[in-house]
Amino acid sequence: MVKHDATLAQVDVLGVLSISKVPLTPGAITFYTFRQQHSASAQLSRMSRAGLVKKTRSKEDQRVVRIKIRPKGEELLKETRQAGLGQARRLLKSCLSDKEIKQLDGLLRKVRDRALRELEMKAEPLPETIDVSDSCPG
C-alpha cells in the first residue's frame, strides 16, 4: 500500500467534511468523529495550516467557526480511502467467504448498537446536511 502523509484522525475528519453539504462547526465534527473538543480543535488547526481544510469565522458571531474541506484535503482523502478500502477488501477476502463477510458486518453493527446504547446514544439517521450516496466507492 502507498504510504500517505495523513493520520487516521485526519482522514476521519476529512471523511466527515467530504459528505457534509455545508461547512461544519468543530463541535459537529467532534460529534461525528467521537473525539474530544480540545483534541479536535488542535487537529483542525494543524489541518488548516497544512491546507487540508479552511476555517471561516461567522460574520454574525465571530466566536463561531465553520470548517470546510479544501481541494488538497479532498485529494488526500480520495487517495487514502481507495488505498485503505482496497487493503481491507483484500484482507477480508483472503480469509473470509462472502457469507462470512456479511456475518461480520452484522456482528459489527450489533457491537456498534450495543456501544451506543451503553453510551446512552442512538444510531440516528444522518442529518440532511450529510450526503453518503457516494462516500464509499465500489
- The pTM (predicted TM-score) of the whole model is 0.66
69: burial class by Cβ within 10 Å (0-12, 13-18, 19+)? buried
pLDDT computed for residue 45 by the predictor: 94
Could you report the per-residue pLDDT of 2-44, keeping only the tens digit for each?
Answer: 456 788 889 999 999 998 889 999 999 998 888 888 888 899 9
pLDDT digits 0-9 by tens, 75-123: 999 888 878 778 888 889 999 999 998 899 889 888 888 888 887 777 6
Cα–Cα distance for residue pair 68/55, rounded to 1 Å: 7
Comparing CA positions, the residue from 40, 51, 54, 49 lying closest to residue 12 is 40
Give the residue with greater pLDDT, 131 vs 69. 69
Rounded Cα distance between 35 and 27, Å, is 9
What gap in Å lies between CA 13 and CA 20, rounded to an integer?
A: 11
Contacts of 22 (CB under 8 A, 6+ apart): 66, 129
Structural domains of the chain, ranges and CATH numbers in brackets: 8-87 (1.10.10.10)
| pLDDT value for 53 | 97
Query: What would the 3-class secondary structure string for 119-134 be?
Result: CCCCCCCCCCCECCCC
The pLDDT tens digits for 47-80 are 999 999 999 998 999 899 999 999 999 999 988 8
